[in-house]
Amino acid sequence: MRGNAKAAAQLRKTAAVRVCVSLEENRPGGEDVSYREIMSVQAGVLAPVEAELEDPWLILYTGGTTGFPKGAVLSRRMITWNAVNTAVSWHLTHADVAPIFTPFFW
């Protein structure tokens, strides 16, 4: 397995992962949903997932103090309040536009 496939296989074993979306058409085991499948389904076919504010939303990798990558898990609450505080403190409106290039780590 390549590095990404190995990491995905490890993630699938955790209770926190509900659905794995694969960019590859040939998925090992067939348990993933392909990105193409998701984009081609009609609205309402996939059941919405209830999310709590403390649920993990994003993992950003940082060099930390040792220089080795560490995953910082950010919750939905953290991301939401960061967006609210940024919009308020920068006086952003619906007319503002910002390009975002991801991933933020690399």
Q: What is the mean pLDDT of the chain?
A: 77
pLDDT band at 1, cuts 50/70/90?
very low
Question: How far is it, in rounded angstroms, from Cα 82 to Cα 41?
Answer: 32
* Ramachandran sector of residue 30 (left: φ over 0; alpha: ψ -120 to 50; beta: rest): left
| Beta-strand runs (E) in 41-99 | 56-62, 70-75
Q: If you search the block for the tokens 């308020």, which residue do you land on?
A: 88
Of the candidates 59, 98, 94, 89, the residue with the CA atom closest to the CA atom of residue 76: 59
Q: What is the pTM of this model?
A: 0.48
Here the tokens at position 73 are 């898990």
Here the tokens at position 36 are 């193409």
Q: For 62-84, how does the pLDDT look when each residue is reduced to its tens digit (9 = 90+)?
A: 776 777 778 889 999 999 999 99
